[in-house]
């Protein structure tokens, strides 16, 4: 078989709820699109199934040219994770997957052992910002039938959610911060600083930059009341104080330093470490060194970390800046892979 290496399949218990599979589809973050609510064409047909979500599924996808498609919200675009809940008695049928009219890949779907026993196949897809047409079609080169119960789409974020391969530096020299994608707050460039007003976890990502292992640096100035700093290994971004998966390392105006992680699905926050350092006036120079599970936070020019801990929740994602309950100024944002 030639199952794509980034595809994942889980077979579920008969009549049971599909297990939540694959790191790309945290529950609660994916949008659900029932197949029966999509567009069927070419002979595909909706039928009832008590084991299917919503009581219905789309079948007859063995017919030449038969298809089921739906409109998915791609958010800000980038990479997405698509989960297809399906059933088939056929051994390794194939179907062609299209996004916005372009063939993405031929899916190879392991048998679920019954037309009413559902499994979930997870794969990655490209998404454009806004609406995307996603289609499963039986092409001439495809084989066998499947019944599709539902689709789930999670927006992983812009390109660059993998590891950085080249250094990145922005000192915000121009009046507009090009290449940054904000989530919440009013962002602008003032006196060659990237500035944001006070609010709950306002953040902005260097859109095309990924970060896995490496060093992040920024000069940060904030007002009293909250932390400002860098976000890294971030995915599933949204507007909201903890609406992302990933880490945040920040400093407050009095020299307090914090490292923690947010989990978007739970809209939750876990503090990993805090430390009080000597207050300083003006800008704090903050650095984060992430190597595997090791995360070290440095302040100023010291080579001794003020926070030195381990956490393995997130391994790669976007990088950016964030201010939580304080206005902030950022400068000299740098990624060193």
Q: Which of 49/79 has CB closer to Ca ion?
A: 49
Distance CA(85)–CA(91), nearest Å, equals 16
Q: Least Å distance between CB 151 and Ca ion?
A: 9
Asked whether position 249 contacts Ca ion by CB under 5 A, the answer is no
Interactions with Ca ion, residue window 18-47 (CB under 5 A):
34
User: Could you identify the residue written with the tokens 């391969």?
Assistant: 165
Q: Least Å distance between CB 315 and Ca ion?
A: 33
Asked whether position 52 contacts Ca ion by CB under 5 A, the answer is yes
Q: What share of the chain is helix, strand, coil (3-state, %, to 5)?
A: 0, 55, 45
Distance CA(201)–CA(189), nearest Å, equals 19
Q: Is-contact 327 227, C-beta < 8 A?
A: no
Instruction: Please report the sign of the dihedral spanned by the C-alpha atoms of residue 243, residue 164, residue 302, residue 329.
Output: negative
Q: Which of 5/50 has CB closer to Ca ion?
A: 50
Q: Which of 86/283 has CB closer to Ca ion?
A: 86
Compose the 267-306 pattern: x for residues touching Ca ion by CB under 5 A, - for all others.
Answer: ----------------------------------------
Asked whether position 53 contacts Ca ion by CB under 5 A, the answer is yes
User: Could you identify the residue written with the tokens 């292992």?
Assistant: 213
Compose the 138-167 pattern: x for residues touching Ca ion by CB under 5 A, - for all others.
Answer: -----------xx-----------------
Residues near 178 by Cβ (< 8 Å), separated by ≥ 6? none
Binding segment toward Ca ion, per CB under 5 A, in 54-62, 137-145, 156-164, 200-208: 54-62
What letters, b where the CB count within 10 A reaches 16 and e where it falls short, cover 191-219? Answer: eebbbbebbebbbbbbbebbbbebbbbbb
Q: Which of 53/122 has CB closer to Ca ion?
A: 53
Q: Which of 32/103 has CB closer to Ca ion?
A: 32
Applying CB under 5 A, the residues found at the interface with Ca ion are: 34, 52-54, 56, 149-150
């Amino acid at each position: 078989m030639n199952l794509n290496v980034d595809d994942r399949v889980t077979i579920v218990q008969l009549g049971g709820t599909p297990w939540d599979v694959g790191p790309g589809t945290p529950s609660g973050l994916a949008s659900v699109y029932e197949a029966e609510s999509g567009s069927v064409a070419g002979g595909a047909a909706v039928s009832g199934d008590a084991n299917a979500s919503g009581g219905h599924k789309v079948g007859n996808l063995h017919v030449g040219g038969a298809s089921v498609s739906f409109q998915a919200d791609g958010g800000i675009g980038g990479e997405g994770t698509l989960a297809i809940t399906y059933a088939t008695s056929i051994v390794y049928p194939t179907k062609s997957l299209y996004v916005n009219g372009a063939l993405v890949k031929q899916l190879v779907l392991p048998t679920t052992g019954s037309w009413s026993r559902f499994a979930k196949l997870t794969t990655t897809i490209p998404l454009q910002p806004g609406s995307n047409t996603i289609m499963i079609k039986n092409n001439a080169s495809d084989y066998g039938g499947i019944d599709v119960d539902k689709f789930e789409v999670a927006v992983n974020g812009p390109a660059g959610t993998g590891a950085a391969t080249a250094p990145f530096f922005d000192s915000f020299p121009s009046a507009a911060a090009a290449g940054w994608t904000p989530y919440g707050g009013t962002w602008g460039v003032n006196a060659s600083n990237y500035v944001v007003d006070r609010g709950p976890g306002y953040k902005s990502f260097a859109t095309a930059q990924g970060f896995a292992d490496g060093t992040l640096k920024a000069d940060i100035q904030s007002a009293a009341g909250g932390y400002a700093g860098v976000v890294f290994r971030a995915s599933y971004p949204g507007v909201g104080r903890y609406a992302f998966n990933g880490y945040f390392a920040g400093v407050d105006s009095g020299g307090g330093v914090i490292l923690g992680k947010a989990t978007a699905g739970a809209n939750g926050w876990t503090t990993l470490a805090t430390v009080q350092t000597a207050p300083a006036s003006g800008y704090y120079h903050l650095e984060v060194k992430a190597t595997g599970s090791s995360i070290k936070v440095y302040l100023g020019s010291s080579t001794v970390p003020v926070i030195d801990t381990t956490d393995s929740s997130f391994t790669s994602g976007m990088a950016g800046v964030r201010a939580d309950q304080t206005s902030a100024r950022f400068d000299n944002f740098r990624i060193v892979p």
